[in-house]
Amino acid sequence: MTRSESYLEPIPAEINLRVKRARRVRRVSLLTTSIIAAYIMLAYVIVPAGYEHRHPAIDTAAGISTTADGHPGDPLNVALIGSEADLKKTMLAAGWFVADSLGFRSDLKITADTVLERSDNKAPVSNLFLWGRKEDLAFEQPVGDDPRQRHHVRFWKSKDLDEQSRPSWMGSATYDKRVGFSHTTGQITHHIAADVDAERDHLFTNLEQTGYLPNVQVIDDFHKVRAGQNGGGDPWHTDGRMFTGTIIIPSDKGNRTPQPL
């Protein structure tokens, strides 16, 4: 072997060193690739999947509405995010109707309907207050021909908006089981069933059937106090959870007036 040839053939020690370096580079590259892949999975898949859109109004709303004279009203247990037009459209599609306001004439109508057992899709609801004002909207769903029983929900529109400039409609859904006199005011009113969770669940079952509420979230422990009594003297209890959902009406459905289910 000539002197020039010795420079062309690496000695075994040099080969060993090159192999070790190549292996080290491959390990570092594999580790770096794994870390980047794990970050992408965590940041863009796992965390977003577990992230819940929590409207800021949910944190500013009291857990219970009040009567006009400051007595505790019914507990809040639902929240819908969207415009007023979308809320009305969704509730109508779910088979619920806009309720009338309570007054002397409506009191007489409730009495007459109860005696004659006539159903009323727009029977009034009494006023309850949140953020210092009465409900902005109220809806009901009749139960057969008995006006004494009905599903109903009051909604208060939040002044706080989310990042897409949408309000939250904080709601109190309860089931009216009979008509009677208020235990505190003596006025004619509906008395609610104690299990307010059952009405919350019923409302969201109806809403999900419309296809306009694809994303439903549950907020655990919204209520720290899980039992009480409303202004009419009716007891209530809850598991403490609030159901929330963002209304999304597809454009091909948005131009049509939905019919009740």
Separation CA 89–CA 87 (nearest Å) = 5
Place of tokens 């209304």: 247
Separation CA 247–CA 261 (nearest Å) = 17
Please report the pLDDT score of residue 2 as a whole number: 52
Q: Give the number of other CB atoms < 10 A from CB of residue 88.
A: 16
Residue 221's SS3 state is coil
Q: Which residues of the chain have pLDDT under 50?
A: 6, 47-51, 104, 115-116, 118, 253-261
Question: Using an 8 Å Cβ cutoff, are 118 and 206 in contact?
Answer: no
Please report the pLDDT score of residue 218 as a whole number: 95
Please report the pLDDT score of residue 22 as a whole number: 76
* Cα-Cα end-to-end distance for the chain: 95
What is the token pair recorded at 29?
A: 């590259």
Please report the pLDDT score of residue 252 as a whole number: 55
Question: Using an 8 Å Cβ cutoff, are 232 and 209 in contact?
Answer: no
Its sign, for the CA torsion 174, 180, 186, 187, is positive
Say what the pTM is.
0.72
Please report the pLDDT score of residue 185 as a whole number: 56
Domain ranges of the chain: 3-50, 57-254
Please report the pLDDT score of residue 51 as a whole number: 47
Please report the pLDDT score of residue 120 as a whole number: 54
